[in-house]
Amino acid sequence: ESLRARRKELARSARAGQEAKAVGNAEEDASDRTRMEELPQLERELVAVLLAHPGRVAEAAGRVAPEEFENPAARRLLLDLLDQLRAGEEPGIAGLRSRLSPGRLALALGLADMATGHSEPGRWLEDLLAGFERKRNREGRRQLQQRLQQVSRGGDHAAALELLRKVQEQAR
């Protein structure tokens, strides 16, 4: 309950602070104005579960890269958590409070609040990481299919057959 009140207070101060904010990093500016609903679902949920259960950041660190995130605000929050882990700090909002702008802190608190009540955070995290893996696989297949089309147009049938074999293997 106090988290919600603090989140509302931070959101109000973020709106006021944005009006007086000086020019800064474009990604930082974008993440200050980002609302939870604007984040892609997979990214929103992964960052939420990591903020609510910071002990799981190490588990996710080796399985998803910030570069896989489309939204700069979600990517920045993931990077912040990973930076804490690399620095030997305990990842989580407590350590991020002093580093985050009011807007980013409000977003982080909202995401953590969203994930706090989940009954099986370990299973949820595993499902989310599997979702990122499926996304990577789809992208890899798409790239192979594009290369296959290019090679097929070029007339190199041996290379086309090899690429076709790779596309079929990835589809399994």
163 torsion bin: left (phi>0), alpha (psi -120 to 50), beta (else): alpha
Which contacts (CB < 8 Å, 24+ apart) does range 149-156 have?
A: none
41-52 and 121-154 helices, crossing angle to 10°: 150
pLDDT tens-digit series, residues 8-55: 666 666 655 544 343 334 445 555 667 888 899 999 999 999 999 999
pLDDT higher than threshold 60 for residue 79: yes
Residues 123-148, mean pLDDT to the nearest whole number: 90
User: What is the predicted pLDDT for the residue at 170?
Assistant: 66
If pLDDT is split at 50, 70 and 90, which confidence band does 145 have?
A: confident
Query: Which residues, 6+ apart, have CB-to-CB distance to 117 below 8 Å?
Result: none
| Residue 66 burial class via C-beta count within 10 angstroms: exposed 0-12, middle 13-18, buried 19 and up | middle
pLDDT higher than threshold 90 for residue 59: yes
pLDDT higher than threshold 80 for residue 86: yes
